Structure 1
Amino acid sequence: MIHVRFQGRSYDITQSQISLDSNMSDVAIKERLAQHFDVNLISFESYVIDRRPSGDLIVRPEAVYG
C-alpha cells in the first residue's frame, strides 16, 4: 500500500494500480505518482518517501519545523 498526502488530501493507492515495485528508486516512484495524478514531476520534487518495515510506502511533503 502507498499512502500519499498530496495537495492537502490523503490517498491510499495499491502498488499494482500504478505498476510500482517497492524496490524502485524514489525518483521512479515520484514519476509514477505524477503520472497517476496527471501532474508535472516537479509537483513531487520536495516530497519524502518513507519506506515502512511492512513494505508500505508513505509519500508526503517534507516537514518543515521552526
Structure 2
Amino acid sequence: MVEQVRERNVVHLRFDGRSLDVPLDVLDVGPASDDGAIKRTLARHLEVPEQRLRNYVVDRHETGNLTVRPEAVFG
C-alpha cells in the first residue's frame, strides 16, 4: 500500500540577506492568518524585535504558501 504524504505549506522569508523556508505549522499560523500575526510569529522565530519586519509585505499564493519580503520601493 502506498502512503500519501501531504506537503507542508511554508512561509518563504527574505530577511537580513538570507532566504529561508519555515513550515507554517512550525510557526502555528496558516495562510488565512493576518499579516500582523504572521510577522509577529516570524519575529519570535528569528528572535528579533517585531519592528524589524514592520515594512515587510506578506504575499499569499494559491498553493497555500506565503512569501514575506521587504516592501518594494519604486522610483
CA RMSD of aligned residues (A): 0.7
Q: 1 or 2 for the larger relative contact order (CA 8 Å, sep ≥6)?
A: 1
Where structure 2 has 5 or more consecutive residues not aligned to the other structure, the ranges are 1-9
Identity of matched residues, %? 42
Cα distance in 2 for residues equivalent to 1:43 and 1:11: 16
Q: How many residues align?
A: 66
TM-score by length of 1: 0.94
* Offset at residue 44 of structure 1 (A): 0.4
What TM-score, normalized to structure 2? Answer: 0.84
Rg larger in structure = 2
Moved segments of 4+, more than 4 Å: none
How far off is 1:37 after superposition? 0.3
Per-residue deviation at 1:10?
0.1
